[in-house]
Amino acid sequence: MNNKKLKEIGKRLLSKKGFKIVFLGDSIVSAESIHPNWREIFEYVLKGKVSEMMNDWKTPDWGIKCINSGLNGATSQNLLTHLNSEVFFYKPNMVICMIGKNDPYFKINPSAHKKNIETLTKKITEKIPFFVFCTPTPDNNKKTNKIYEQYAEEDRFLLPQPKTQFIDLFKIYQGFDLDKIFTFISQGNEDVGIKPGEPDFQHPNALGHAYIAKVILKEVFGIDFNPELYMKTLLAGEKYPKY
């Protein structure tokens, strides 16, 4: 576990300053229709670990604030346009961003994507102490993943930079069982070639969101998280699912 980062959060909480995290990105971040989604799981686990460290549940529970700034259908360019309203307005201590999946469908080529991410990183790190940038989750589809790989490669060339942590979620996530993760039935998406009634190979189910949380919790805080155990105990009706 990365006690240093957790201790930094604890120190702020003890000084009554609080700790705010903004989650920035597209529909995989907003995820309003999926519960629990990875943001909710991330918050649950983080607050629990800080509570253990401080031997105090109330201070972390009240002091850590998580803000959903996910914008459905957003591109990297959209995030630049909305930085003031979706990030800087909240004056966060940390920003966790995942973006890029929609760029190919809105004619933002890999080179333009890289420039947008470079600008996004610069603007955020000028004002925010800690920035985590994640490449998007892959699809359960070889054709679209071949397209996304070009964008992820540009991110790999660019990041990390000062005050940033780079997580290659696109690469790591492909090591999981994608057939268990992409089970939603789509209403149809002409842009990516999904017909109504076909499996949605773009949007992870709740288990898939637990796997997103697994990666980010481990990479940022060194926290071990077991998605299968979490979902099993959650569905068994446990008030505080194990992980």
The DSSP string of 147-170 is: HHHHHHHHHHHH---TTEEEE-HH
Q: What pLDDT is stored for residue 9 in this prediction?
A: 97
Q: What is the mean pLDDT of the chain?
A: 96
| Dihedral angle of Cα 223, 236, 239, 211, to the nearest 10 degrees | 30
Question: Residue 138: its pLDDT value, please?
Answer: 98
CA dihedral over 144, 193, 98, 87, signed as positive or negative:
positive
pLDDT tens per residue, range 133-169: 999 999 999 999 999 999 999 999 999 999 999 999 9
* Residue 2 binned pLDDT confidence (cut-offs 50, 70, 90): low
The per-residue pLDDT for range 204-218, each reduced to its tens digit, is 999 999 999 999 999
pLDDT band at 67 (very low <50, low <70, confident <90, very high): very high
Average pLDDT over residues 103-128: 97
Residue in this structure with the two tokens 């307005």, named with its chain if needed: 89
Helix or strand or coil: residue 183?
coil
Structural domains in the chain, CATH included, are 3-235 (3.40.50.1110)
Q: Which residue from 71, 166, 72 is spatially nearest to 117, judged by alpha carbons? A: 166
Whether the predicted model's global pTM rises above the 0.85 cut: yes
pLDDT band, very low/low/confident/very high, at 195 (cuts 50, 70, 90): confident
Q: Return the pLDDT at 187.
A: 84
What's the pLDDT band for 56 if we cut at 50, 70, 90? Answer: very high
Whether the pLDDT of residue 185 is over 60: the answer is: yes
pLDDT class for 1, splitting at 50, 70, 90? low
Rg (CA), the chain: 18
pLDDT of residue 117: 98
- Using an 8 Å Cβ cutoff, are 9 and 52 in contact? no
Q: 86: which residues sit within 8 A by CB, 6+ positions away? A: 22, 24, 69, 71, 79
